Amino acid sequence: MNTPPLSRRAFGLRIAELGLAGSAVANGLPAWADMPRPLPNPVVAVPPEMRPKPGLILVSDQQLLDLRDPDKPVDISLSSTPQVATLRQLCEQAKAGHGRKIVLAFDQFFEQYRPGQKGKPRTLTPDSDAYIECLAKIGQTLRPYGLGLELSLLSPLEIGAAYAKATGESGRWVQYREGYRNPRSGRFSVSLWQQLRWTNNKGTIELARDSVQAYAFRERQVGGGRFYHVAPEQIVRLDHPLVVEEDGEGDEGQGGRRRRITVLGEGGDQARGLDRVLVVVRYRTPEMDYFSDRALPYLKGLVDRYHAAGVPLAGLYSDEVHIQQDWHYDAHHDEGQLAIRYLTPNLARRFAAKYGAEFEDFEKFLVYFAYAQHAFDPTLDARLPALHVLAPNPDGVARTALLRRRYFDLLDRTVVDLFVAAKRHAEGVFGRELEATAHATWAESPTIDFWSPGDGRPMNPMKYEYTPNFLWSNTVHQASAACDDYFRWGEFLTGGGTDHAEGGWSDRDYYGLALGCSLGITNPNRPYAYAAGWGWPAAVGERYEALQAAYGVGGHPAFQAIAEKRGRDVEVLMLYPLSLVACEERFGSWMAQYGYATYATPEVLLTRGKLTDDGAILLGGRRFTTLAILFEPLPPAGLLPLIEDFVERGGRLVWSGPPPRVDMDGTAVLDRWSRLIGAGARHFHLEGQAAAGSVVEFTDALGPVPPQTILTDFLVDQVHPIDPAEGSGATVVARVAGRPVGLHRAKGRGTVTFLGFRPRDDQSASLGHESRTWFEVLKALGAYPKSREDAPTNDNPSVVSRESPHLATRFPNGTIILAAHYRSHVESWGGGFQRDEAEDRAAIARNPLPPDAVELDERWVGGHRVTYRGRLLVAFRVDDSGRLIAFGGQATGGIRIDGREHRLADRPLDLLAFAPVPEPRRVPGGASMMIWLGNQGESEVRIPAPPGLNAPRVYQQGAEEGSAGAEVPSSVRGGVLALPGRHDFEGERLLYVVPG
């Protein structure tokens, strides 16, 4: 299989999301536009994230050295179009736009456009004295301009060699490989791929093989299946010397990143009769020991060094803040497994202190991480996805998954807490909030998951469903690099975001869009996150931008203003399935890619959620009346009690997938869960049952739900037949081959529904037909109610979205947005960052876009009747009296809402939008409304005037965001603000309305 090219990150396309500016200053206005006026400057407040931030994205140490001379030209190109500038020019640009900082960071991705390190490790890293000296010199240039630096400083990838020199510590990774061992002679020979070099967005590092260890053990198959019992007390460390044979200098075809080695050993009287061996290769890496007591003092000292050197730190550029790993997605595997984990002695000690002294020698417990490594088996069992378990029973299976889950959880939590603490210290030292922009990971699931195309077809159209040709998810790669829990990294990031729709995959189930909303809603630092995308023709990007606006995770500034830069609202909260990768590492962080819910981890729900008396969850200022569990066999302690209380108060619970046997504290919870569900006899043992090809039939409360086919025999598609408990009131609502796999009952003032299978939902129809089980189940249970009883149809935005050609959303401030769906256009283009316009045009000609018309005829949505004509999307907001107070549309001249006609222009304009200035952006004497007009021409525009707006002045935006430029003619008559047209009113204009 071909590894995708390193067209991984969309820094250039994410400029608007991060507030970064290009190198060109906005065109100035005529001199008469700048005549003095009794106006504040700006007339609209510009928050920090909207201010221009010129970017210095470096690809070599030499470029940093060059920047010490503020007048030396430096290539900062973000594409094949050259872009050369001096530091002084960027300072002048930032000052002209009232910017406050310049971004300076290294990013290996852009070496494809200009000369870089050429595979050599950097010597100028942010923890080195030479680097700090360079930044102090650069800071001297910035200081007269009143500018600071947004630096990639507090990022695990940036701290390495200098830390090792100062502390004598470093990172430590271990690679493990299972093999056959002769039980009589003890002889074994195990081959694996040694890791030599990793590259990520902070450059290349070299791994140093430190030592090799071997452990002998015996395994016994459990019940003829894929589980093999290994008693931990019988795992024996082998002390005899090992021989390592190296095959060549490295695989030059992969940049010298790996080479084949064979580890040989024999003997070991203490391990006589043990016929399996686990070989562990230890590596030193130039990064921190995140579990060391010296780690936080070192980071605090580093911050203090920056402060003492006079570096004007003003922000933390935090794109991909994971620990060391490699960008290449599918090139680190032994027998198809990513068999490498971060493990220092301090991690082992921390784990042992938390979970038991037996884990002090954590290396031997890597036996329970080895997955599908039985290629040496002479039987067909070699084909099984084999896993070792702590005990030969269901409890042993659960507690082994718990071991892996605790490892990933401890790694995530320790790294995040470390850098959050360092950030807080930096904010105290520098006396300001340090905005930490961007997102945690370099890869996403399902975007960078792998399917086998088989006949050379493109993979992107397959990335919507678990099908038999599914190979592997990159989630374990993320989890091993401490970046799979995006929500936890939100404690460090300011808002955050995701690049799920990257590399040409267009997220046609809207999962990444929903996840972006969720990250914003749950972020404790700023309640807004982006969902970026790249790697497609411009015409596809236009469609995606409309969806971004509809979800409130990006899009045109006009629509962001109308929704007040918040994510959309929905009644359903789904728990993000972090435990899936711990149960079987092949699978991703998704069970279904469902776009009509908000996501949160159980930890976020427990720490930030609150229950109302009427059975709702309040989280991030939002209200959820339905809680859906996607896959949670290892719930955190406290989750089940919270769920019980939620249901008793009137909440609606839908639990899908396997029952939990133990919680994260190790407490047995199956009986408690069964009482909640009303579950009786269970008809499965170690795990669920395979049912590939079977059909789920629904009845009773779920009678309206169409049948669903089970696609595979994978873990995710196993079924869990359970009888209702006698006297519980639970009824069977779903069956597979006559076996009950769904239960439903009333409990307290709420309801509980159990679905012992994976509900599928794929609005993209990637298999040639749409699956919609999650939606139909939730709708049947009343999770998506209509706005009011007298509505003639269910006008809930989620229902409108699944039963019409339009995506419909609503927002906390009352805004409703409808957008043309973009779910059926199959990805058929290359996914590179740099686009060839001719190739893109040809791709679209072969595969035309679906219609982009938004045509509504008395459509009920969110409590309103709407008639409208336009393209791409429409947004509107009315007050309690029905007055239109905000609107946005393209190729439109007006809208009718609840029978009230709003003729806003003489003819359709390319863009017509207006919104009141939100309170946080208002300034005394400044604007009260913003208006966007695209190619107005000679058409008069008529906008409903807010009460009291009698003699306003209207100004075109000046040279900077928020400033007033030329005044434009306007009048108020009959409660309407009229803006006459003019033949030269071309292009897009932003107007500010200042009350008289």
pLDDT in tens, 234-251: 999 999 999 999 997 776
- What mean pLDDT is predicted for residues 526-532? 97
Is the separation of the CB atoms in 30 and 338 below 8 Å? no
Residue 182 dihedral angles phi and psi, to the nearest 5°: -65, 120
pLDDT in tens, 546-563: 999 999 999 999 999 999
- Rounded Cα gap, residues 42 and 795, in angstroms: 41
pLDDT for res 454: 84
Query: Which residues are CB-neighbours of 485 under 8 A, at least 6 positions away?
Result: 412, 416, 578, 601
Tell me if the bond preceding 42 is cis, omega within 30° of 0: yes
CA distances to 413, 643, 668, 674, 942 from 637, rounded to whole Å, are: 16, 11, 10, 16, 58
Residue extent(s) of CATH 3.40.50 domains in the chain? 593-780
- Rounded Cα gap, residues 411 and 399, in angstroms: 18
Q: Work out the angle at residue 868's Cα, subtended by the Cα atoms of residues 867 and 874, and round it to the nearest 5 degrees.
A: 120
pLDDT for res 630: 99
Q: Name the amino acid, one letter, at 782.
A: G
Would you mind telling me the total number of residues written for the chain in this entry?
996
pLDDT in tens, 595-645: 999 999 999 999 999 999 999 999 999 999 999 999 999 999 999 999 999
- Rounded Cα gap, residues 460 and 450, in angstroms: 9
Tell me which H or E stretch contains 402.
Answer: helix 394-430
CATH match for 593-780 among 1.20.140, 3.40.50, 1.10.238, 3.90.550: 3.40.50
pLDDT category at 394 given cuts 50, 70, 90 is very high
pLDDT in tens, 417-427: 999 999 999 99
3-state secondary structure of 559: helix
- What mean pLDDT is predicted for residues 124-143? 97
pLDDT for res 252: 54
Query: Which residues are CB-neighbours of 768 under 8 A, at least 6 positions away?
Result: none
* Token pair listed for 839: 């190739």
Fill in the DSSP letter of residue 878.
E
Nearest to 655 by CA among 589, 771, 577, 713: 577
pLDDT category at 229 given cuts 50, 70, 90 is very high
Residue 929 dihedral angles phi and psi, to the nearest 5°: -145, 150
pLDDT in tens, 61-118: 999 999 999 999 999 998 888 899 999 999 999 998 889 999 999 999 998 889 888 8
Is the separation of the CB atoms in 448 and 442 below 8 Å? no
Contacts within 8 Å (CB) and 24+ apart, 903-910: 903/942, 904/941, 904/942, 904/943, 905/936, 905/939, 905/940, 905/941, 905/942, 906/939, 906/940, 906/981, 907/939, 908/869, 908/870, 909/933, 909/934, 909/935, 909/936, 909/939, 909/941, 910/934, 910/935, 910/988
- Rounded Cα gap, residues 572 and 587, in angstroms: 24
Mean pLDDT of the chain: 94
Tell me if the bond preceding 557 is cis, omega within 30° of 0: no
pLDDT for res 256: 60
Helix pair 295-308, 394-430: axis angle to 10 deg? 20
Q: Give the percent of the chain with pLDDT over 90.
A: 90
Tell whether the model's pLDDT for residue 17 goes beyond 60.
no
DSSP state string for 349-381: HHHHHHH-GGGGSGGGGGGGT-BS--TT-SSGG
Tell whether the model's pLDDT for residue 34 goes beyond 50.
no
Q: Give the percent of the chain with pLDDT over 70.
A: 96
- Rounded Cα gap, residues 405 and 583, in angstroms: 8
* Token pair listed for 337: 């497994």
Helix pair 129-142, 87-96: axis angle to 10 deg? 50
3-state secondary structure of 205: strand
Largest CA distance in the chain: 99
pLDDT for res 418: 99
* Token pair listed for 521: 């809603």
Q: Name the amino acid, one letter, at 72.
A: K
pLDDT for res 37: 54
pLDDT in tens, 339-371: 999 999 999 999 999 999 999 999 999 999 999
CB atoms within 10 A of CB 450: 18
Spell 264-288 as b/e; 16+ CB within 10 A means b: ebbebeebeebbbbbbbbbbbbbbb
- Rounded Cα gap, residues 984 and 980, in angstroms: 12
3-state secondary structure of 179: strand
- What mean pLDDT is predicted for residues 735-742? 98
pLDDT for res 288: 98
pLDDT in tens, 939-948: 999 999 999 8
pLDDT for res 253: 53
Tell whether the torsion through CA atoms of 854, 858, 861 and 862 is positive or negative: positive
CA distances to 76, 210, 332, 346, 363 from 213, rounded to whole Å, are: 46, 10, 20, 18, 9
* Token pair listed for 316: 């933390």
Tell whether the model's pLDDT for residue 656 goes beyond 80.
yes
Spell 421-436 as b/e; 16+ CB within 10 A means b: bbbebbeebbeeebbb
pLDDT in tens, 373-386: 999 999 999 999 99
CB atoms within 10 A of CB 935: 15
Tell whether the model's pLDDT for residue 580 goes beyond 50.
yes
* Token pair listed for 544: 């995606």
pLDDT in tens, 454-512: 888 999 999 999 999 999 999 999 999 999 999 999 999 999 999 999 999 999 999 99
pLDDT for res 20: 37
- Rounded Cα gap, residues 29 and 35, in angstroms: 11
